Structures are given as structure tokens and as C-alpha cells.
Homo-oligomer: A and B are copies of this chain.
Amino acid sequence: MTAETPKTHNLRIDGSRLWSTLMETARFGATPAGGLNRLTLSEEDRAVRDWFRDACEAAGLEVGTDALGTQFALRRGRDMSRKPIACGSHLDTQPTGGKFDGILGVLAGLEVMRSLNDAGIETEAPLLLVNWTNEEGSRFAPAMMASAAYAGAFTTEEILAKRDAKGVSVGEALDSIGYRGCEAVGAREIGAFVELHIEQGPILEAEGRTIGVVEGGQGIAWFDGTVTGFESHAGTTPMPRRRDAMLGLAEFALAVERVALAHAPTAVATMGEAEIVSPSRNVVPGQIRFTLDLRDPASPVLDAMESALADAAAEIAARRNLAIALTRIWRKEPVPFDPRLVAAVDGAAEGLGLSRRRMVSGAGHDACNLAGCMPAAMIFVPCKDGVSHNEAESATPTDCAAGADVLLHTLVALANAPKA
């Protein structure tokens, strides 16, 4: 795998140029609180897309756009018969998003191209930098829709017909900013995809490590639930005669935590919503609706958690004379990344002397969608307090540069590897 030459071995990206680029593009959709509001296919998104196209062309890349607005910037290789080795992420943000989520992966890719240009390095396979449309899903559902369509999970027509809260379709929004491209979705050949991203979690920061070598995406199971008891007077109903939905919910919330801890350290489980039906301070709650989010990198663990929670719900309901209903509304199986790519990322980080750990991605990413149709992998760098989807989202220039260096060396290694 060490297909690097002495010339590339000591190569580093320009960290201050990367940081300047991050800060420069943060003016498109800047919020007073220092974050970004750059919803997909908005005027702000058009502005950053225009900037990106111009910057790529200035770096000698050949820029194309597909029918869902995804931008592809190609850096030619010595052997154009080889499929390009791709990197990238997304330039759209949440309505109160930060300056790094997605953006780092795209602009670090640009920095890799610039650094290779500066060093006069040509890779064997071509390189490709991608800005995927609508990763966030804030304006149009589903999230990560362009990479999903690329991978064949949706037709282009299905995605074009999706509408935002104001009734504007994806097709109309693409036309209004001039980004409905002529390339057929999925037509662009890609040999492998490597996505650099902030962790969006606290693990790297807490352990003082710089690089997360991501082995895959977690499986996710979502549930809707209700606890049903009997609404009664808070003053006149003795404790033993109550059928208090709040107490059933409380025991179940703690069971959810216990079940996740039983599959430590990988499993996580969250009761994110809980709403009392007709709440009143002097009424014993009669019914509560809630949601559950279970995640683990292994399908059998998801199965075991679901089964344990069904048992816990039945036990609590029987003991407290309640009904607890639990309905699975969505399940996404775990996504393993390509071992060869994961090893390439690990090798690049090792070669750079960076502290690292293997981990899984807790959130969904375009790379997870693409892993079904090509070798894919991800590189994580720490973000402050694990916070993302928030204007306070923050990452250090050093960590951003380190992530970009790993991306550089991973791409070069893959692009220069002996033809498969």
C-alpha cells in the first residue's frame, strides 16, 4: 500500500491556506452568532457553489454538475483509464449550522488538489472532488439525498419531486439557482470515496487523539412508543390506585439506558422526545408519546436491544397496570467501510505520526450511502465539546490541517496503488 514516492512522502497541505479558505467561504450564509445558515439550493448555497466552481477551475480541475446539482471536480491522472479516487463532502448546512460540518471535507479536498499542484505531483489514477447536494436534509427530506440517488436508492425523478415546507420542489430549486446539471445521476464513475469530516461527537477530544479512522456507520433503529395509563385527579387518587403514565415512562427511560450500557461501549440509546397528552399540573398523566433511537455497529446488537426493550416494556406495563406500545418505524443496517480503504487511512495517519483510534460513525454521511456501491471510508477530526449542528461548532486549525494531510496521503496512496 505504500505507493508513495520520496517526493510525496514529506508532502503536507498548507494549513493556513486551508483555514483561510474555511473562513473565506464562511461568509456565504454567515449568522451573527458565528455560524452558518446555508440551506441546500438557497441563494447562499448558489453563492458558495459558484465560489467552489471558480476555485476548482482556478486549480485546473474540470468541473461538472449532475442532474441533482452535485458538483464534481476532476484532477487528471497519468492513467485516465483508471477510475478516479474521490473525496469530498457537502457545502450545505443546517439553518443554525457551523463552519465545519461537511465544509471541511470539501475544502480540504480542494486544499489537497492545490498542494499537489504546488508540488507538481501527478497521481496515477485521476482524483475527484465532490460537493454532494443536500446532505443535511433540513430543507428537503431525506437527508443525503444526492448520494442516495447516486447509489441507486432513489430515482432522479423521485428526488426532483421532493418539496420543501413552502412547496418548492428540488427541481424548481435547482433551476432557480441554475444548478440542474446535465450529467446523469450515477453516471460519473468513481473508484473509491474518502470523506473527511468533523467527528460530531466527543470521543477524539476526550481521548486527546487527532484522527478517527472510521470503520463504518452504525446501524440505527427508530421507534415510536406510547405509555397508556389512566388520567386521574392528583389530589384524590391514592398512590396505590394510580396508573401513572409518567412513572411507566420513567422506568422505561432508565431501562433504555440499561440496555445500551449492557452493550457497552458501542451501543447508544436515546429517548429524544416524550410528550404528555393533555398535561396538567394537578392531573396524573394518562398517556405519553415518546421516541427511541437505538444505534450499534452490529446488527445482532440492534436485535438484542430491541428484544430486551420489548421485555422491559412488558414487565413495567404488567407491574404498573399500564400499556406500553413500541413500534419500529425505521431501521438502517450497519454500513461497514472497505477494509482496504480503512487500512489506507490508518496507514496515512501512521505515516504522519498522528495519534488515532478506530471508531464508527454515529451520524449518517454521504460516504455511508456510497459504501454500498463503491469502496468508501472516512476520516474524523475532533470538534470542540463534540458539538455540531450548532453555530458554536468549532475545530482547531491544527486538527483541520492534520485531517487534510491524512486525506492527502490516503488519496495519493490509493491513486498510486498498483492497478487492481
Contact = CB atoms under 8 A, between A and B. Distances in A.
Interface of A: 199-203, 206, 218, 220, 222, 232-241, 244, 246-247, 249-251, 253-254, 257, 260-261, 264-265, 267-276, 279-285, 291-293, 295, 361-364, 386-389
B273 A233 contact: no
Contact of A362 (B222, B237, B267, B364): B237
A281 B272 contact: yes
A293 B271 contact: no
B239 A257 contact: yes
A110 to B, nearest CB: 26
A104 to B, nearest CB: 16
Contacts of A237: 201-202, 268, 362, 386
A250 B250 CA distance: 4
A257 B253 CA distance: 16
A267 B361 CA distance: 49
A218 B201 contact: no
Nearest to A292: B281
A238 B203 contact: yes
Contact of A268 (B220, B235, B247, B293): B235
Contacts of A220: 235
Given A235-B220, A235-B362, A274-B276, A281 B293 contact: yes
Contacts of A284: 270, 272
B295 A241 contact: no
Given A222-B281, A233-B386, A249-B253, 16 more contacts: A200-B236, A201-B236, A235-B293, A235-B363, A236-B362, A239-B260, A246-B271, A247-B253, A247-B254, A250-B250, A270-B281, A270-B283, A271-B285, A272-B281, A272-B283, A273-B281
Contacts of A235: 200-201, 218, 220, 268, 293, 295, 361-364
6 contacts: A200-B235, A203-B241, A233-B362, A234-B362, A239-B265, A240-B265
A380 to B, nearest CB: 10
A262 B247 CA distance: 16
Contacts of A251: 250, 254
B295 A274 contact: no
A233 B295 contact: no
B238 A202 contact: yes
| Identical subunits present | 2
A280 B285 contact: no
A238 B250 contact: no
Nearest to A199: B236
A243 to B, nearest CB: 11
A257 B386 CA distance: 35
B264 A239 contact: yes
A200 B236 CA distance: 6
Nearest to A206: B241
B268 A239 contact: yes
Contacts of A285: 271-272
A327 to B, nearest CB: 13
Nearest to A363: B235
B291 A281 contact: yes
B236 A247 contact: no
A239 to B, nearest CB: 5
Contacts of A388: 233
A359 to B, nearest CB: 10
A257 B236 CA distance: 15
A299 to B, nearest CB: 16
B293 A233 contact: no
Contacts of A261: 239
Given A237-B362, A238-B265, A232 B386 contact: yes
A233 B363 contact: yes
A202 B241 CA distance: 8
Given A222-B281, A232-B386, A280-B273, A250 B239 contact: no
A234 B292 CA distance: 10
Contacts of A232: 202, 386-387
